[in-house]
Structure 1
Amino acid sequence: MADYSFFSNRECEFFPCHDNVDPDDFNCLFCYCPLYTLGDRCGGNFRYTEAGIKSCENCGIPHSKGGYRYVNSKFPELNELAARNRSKD
């Protein structure tokens, strides 16, 4: 794995913040998931709370071994969403 695609911060008080990813392979690079804004198109194991808030506590995609590659594969969708938001201004 390339140096730029993996970072693990075992010193973090929340490490590991998801129980479904092996701590030895836990990638902290996307501490805050850039796919959150895609809503139900992110591809992760999420749920919406009763208050309508997206909860990603059961998703480990951005923190997994293949997470960097997966997140990058979704950037065309993020770009499309950003373009639509720009056109609303």
Structure 2
Amino acid sequence: MSDNYKFFRHDNCEYFPCHKVKDKETFNCLFCYCPLYFLENCGGNKSDFNGVKDCSNCLIPHSKNGYDYIINKIREVNKEKRAKNNLT
């Protein structure tokens, strides 16, 4: 199976690219909204702006390995929750 499902670029989006980047060709739009936003310790380059998480300096979801990072992080968090609730 190919890895094509891990990458999508939406050149026609009015917000493309939504972050300042050097190379638009490798900018991944698959996770337009980061699924890790709800995690306090997402591993990304975030800051706090009056209690609001600001991810504008984070490119993890838009990077070449972003898909793998996000999927692994979700698995890790789910594993921790199962262990905490004795569901392993």
Please, what TM-score do these two structures have when normalized by structure 2? 0.81
Higher RCO, 1 vs 2 (CA within 8 Å, ≥6 residues apart): 1
* Residue 80 (structure 1) shift: 5.5
For structure 2, which runs of at least 5 residues remain unmatched after alignment? 83-88
Aligned pairs for 1:1-89 within 5 A: 2-20=3-21, 22-39=23-40, 41-49=41-49, 51-79=50-78
Output the CA distance in 1 between the equivalents of 2:73 and 2:17.
24
Tell me how large the CA RMSD over aligned residues is.
1.9
1:28-85 Cα shifts (integer Å, max 9, x gaps) = 000000011112x101001000x210000000000000101110110124435877xx
When Rg is computed on C-alpha atoms for both structures, the one with the higher figure is 2
For structure 1, which runs of at least 5 residues remain unmatched after alignment? 84-89
Greater per-residue helix proportion: 1
